[in-house]
Amino acid sequence: MGRPRSPVLPRDLHPGAWWIWALGLAAAASRTTNPWLLVIIVLVASVTVLSRRTDAPWALSFRLYLALGLFVVCLRVVFRVLLGGGYGDTLLLDLPLVPLPDWAAGITLLGPVTAESILAGLYDGMRLAAVIICVGAANSLANPRRMLASLPPALYEVGTAVVIALSLFPQLAESVQRVRRARRLRGDPGRGVGALRRVVVPVLEDALERSLALAASMDARGYGRAGELPAGQRRVTGALLVTGLLGLCVGSYAFLDATAPRSLSWPMLVGGVLLAGAGFVAAGRRVHRTRYRPDSWRAADVLTAATGVAVAVLVTVVAAGRPDVAIPDPAAPPALSVLALVAVMLGVLPAFATPAPISLLRPEPAR
């Protein structure tokens, strides 16, 4: 007899898994300007969002990101035409050249429009749009509150501040409404400078008074109980953070300067990030808090994150081996390779291989 199969119960994936997946797709998109690959990446992101998002407000924002992506692409093409600088041989439109006045020496507007320069702008714009849409996908799939709740312990305070801000936000809107209404009771026609002050000051006073009461309640409920770390450990944390930052400083500079030794570029950046990460862990050790119902990493979450990493790695491999596929020449139709296609299509795996999110389990609406 085999083991009983346990059904896949609906649950929300770890928000971190969605972010790693989406950032992997974004990283892949940033390595290529091949329009086919970019279109596939956007499709992969969209399909996944449509099949795994909930009906929460943040989940409905995905179409804003799609619109923004479209806008970026159009902007790039328009700028290409407007700012001229056309190259290539396939002339589409011969616009008059408009030289700018002396202070902008050497820069001209408009001029001949070539298919190559339009396509180059289009490809480039599509790359940025794809990166934006991938981040938008993460934003739609990952519950921001759960994300804040699963921040590493070292970021606990900042995370709490944001949680407080998010809970307070709707109350502020009510407070503003109440004060605006009350303002008229003092015979205020509601115009001018005084009017603004009469709204802002009471709302702010209210909010600040509230902050003191909140602090007392947090203090009385044990916030900040975590003991101090011994001085030695704190020094270790400091040393890790500082050296990590030094690595990032040197690395980012060397990354930009192609004439600097290559050993200062990527190795420094990676080393810096690793040291800083170690610093996070060390700083988090002072925190002895626990989490109520923490999000756990299970097979589906690991699979999702791994998919994102795999897409990024494979596209990087493609970019190194087949530059003509990764960065196609606008003069010729963009080429494709099997590996490149497999790499980007792999990203759609989480759309089918993960459990459905909880809030999708509502009864089907009657037809």
Told to check if 332 binds another protein by CB under 8 A, we report no
What's the full length of the chain, in residues?
367
Query: In a 3-state reduction of DSSP, which class is residue 91?
Result: strand
Picking from 151, 150, 152, 146, the residue whose alpha carbon sits closest to that of residue 166 is: 146
Told to check if 176 binds another protein by CB under 8 A, we report yes
Told to check if 231 binds another protein by CB under 8 A, we report no
Told to check if 360 binds another protein by CB under 8 A, we report no
Least Å distance, CB 174 to another protein, is 9
Told to check if 196 binds another protein by CB under 8 A, we report yes
C-alpha–C-alpha distance, residues 263 and 95, integer Å: 47
Nearer Cβ to another protein (168/317): 168
Told to check if 313 binds another protein by CB under 8 A, we report no
Among residues 179, 264, 309, 356, the one that binds another protein under rule CB under 8 A: 179
Q: Is the dihedral of CA 280, 281, 284, 285 positive or negative?
A: negative
Site for another protein in 233-252 (CB under 8 A): 234, 237-238, 241-242, 244-246, 248-249, 252
Told to check if 79 binds another protein by CB under 8 A, we report yes
Q: Looking at residue 154, what DSSP letter applies? A: G
Told to check if 128 binds another protein by CB under 8 A, we report yes
Among residues 10, 71, 217, 361, the one that binds another protein under rule CB under 8 A: 217
**What is the DSSP pairing of strand 91-99 with strand 108-114?**
antiparallel
Least Å distance, CB 168 to another protein, is 4
Task: Identify the residue whose tokens are 């070539």.
Answer: 114
Q: Which stretch binds another protein (CB under 8 A): 2-10, 58-66, 337-345, 355-363?
A: 58-66
C-alpha–C-alpha distance, residues 334 and 340, integer Å: 12
C-alpha–C-alpha distance, residues 310 and 19, integer Å: 14
What mask, x for binding another protein by CB under 8 A, covers residues 259 to 278? xx--------x---x--x--
CA atoms within 13 A on the CB side of 237: 14
Nearer Cβ to another protein (277/353): 277
Told to check if 93 binds another protein by CB under 8 A, we report no
Told to check if 208 binds another protein by CB under 8 A, we report yes
Among residues 8, 39, 50, 64, the one that binds another protein under rule CB under 8 A: 64
Kindly tell me the burial class for residue 254, based on how many C-beta atoms sit within 10 Å of its own C-beta (0-12, 13-18, 19 or more).
buried
Cβ contact 138:25 at 8 Å: no
Q: Where are the alpha helices (DSSP H) in 86-191?
A: 115-141, 144-149, 156-183
Contacts of 48 (CB under 8 A, 6+ apart): 137, 141, 347, 348, 350, 351
Nearer Cβ to another protein (90/167): 167
Told to check if 230 binds another protein by CB under 8 A, we report no
Among residues 4, 7, 96, 106, the one that binds another protein under rule CB under 8 A: 106
Task: Identify the residue whose tokens are 């804003």.
Answer: 64
Told to check if 170 binds another protein by CB under 8 A, we report yes
Told to check if 154 binds another protein by CB under 8 A, we report yes
Nearer Cβ to another protein (141/346): 141
